[in-house]
């Protein structure tokens, strides 16, 4: 069964450092998403990506965040200068008929 794969599963980084979270979506899907879940809270939408460009972004997705699909398979989320409040679980999702989620990357900013 096809699945969305995210790497790494857990990343610890120092405040102010750049991090790149990676995702391999399901191959025939065209819509890609990043969501965030701060521990104990609900899942929040960050950004959607279609046809090689951002189709929608939330107010959380400020200038510190960027996404790209550099090679037609990987879909990455970059946080340029991490803050303590960026600590969260980050989920990638790709959508055909329904959205399927990766297993998440737990980002810890210290």
Partner 1 sequence: AQTVTQSQPEMSVQEAETVTLSCTYDTSESDYYLFWYKQPPSRQMILVIRQEAYKQQNATENRFSVNFQKAAKSFSLKISDSQLGDAAMYFCAYRSPTQGGSEKLVFGKGTKLTVNP
Entry field: residues in the chain = 110
Contact range with partner 1 by CB under 8 A, out of 20-28, 62-70, 76-84, 93-101: 93-101
CA distance 73 to 104: 17
Query: Is residue 89 a contact point for partner 1 (CB under 8 A)?
Result: yes
Query: Is residue 69 a contact point for partner 1 (CB under 8 A)?
Result: no
Query: Is residue 74 a contact point for partner 1 (CB under 8 A)?
Result: no
42, 63, 72, 85: which one binds partner 1 (CB under 8 A): 42
The beta strands (E) that lie in 39-87 are given as 43-50, 53-57, 65-68, 75-79
């Amino acid at each position: 069964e096809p699945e969305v794969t995210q790497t790494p599963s857990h990343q610890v980084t120092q405040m102010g450092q750049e991090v790149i979270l990676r995702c391999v979506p399901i191959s025939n899907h065209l819509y890609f998403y990043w969501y965030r879940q701060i521990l104990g809270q609900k899942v929040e939408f960050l950004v959607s990506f279609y046809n090689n460009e951002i189709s929608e972004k939330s107010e959380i997705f400020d200038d510190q965040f960027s996404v790209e699909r550099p090679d037609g398979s990987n879909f990455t989320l970059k946080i340029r200068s991490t803050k303590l409040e960026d600590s969260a679980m980050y989920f990638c999702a790709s959508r055909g008929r329904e959205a399927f989620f990766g297993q998440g990357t737990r980002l810890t900013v210290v």
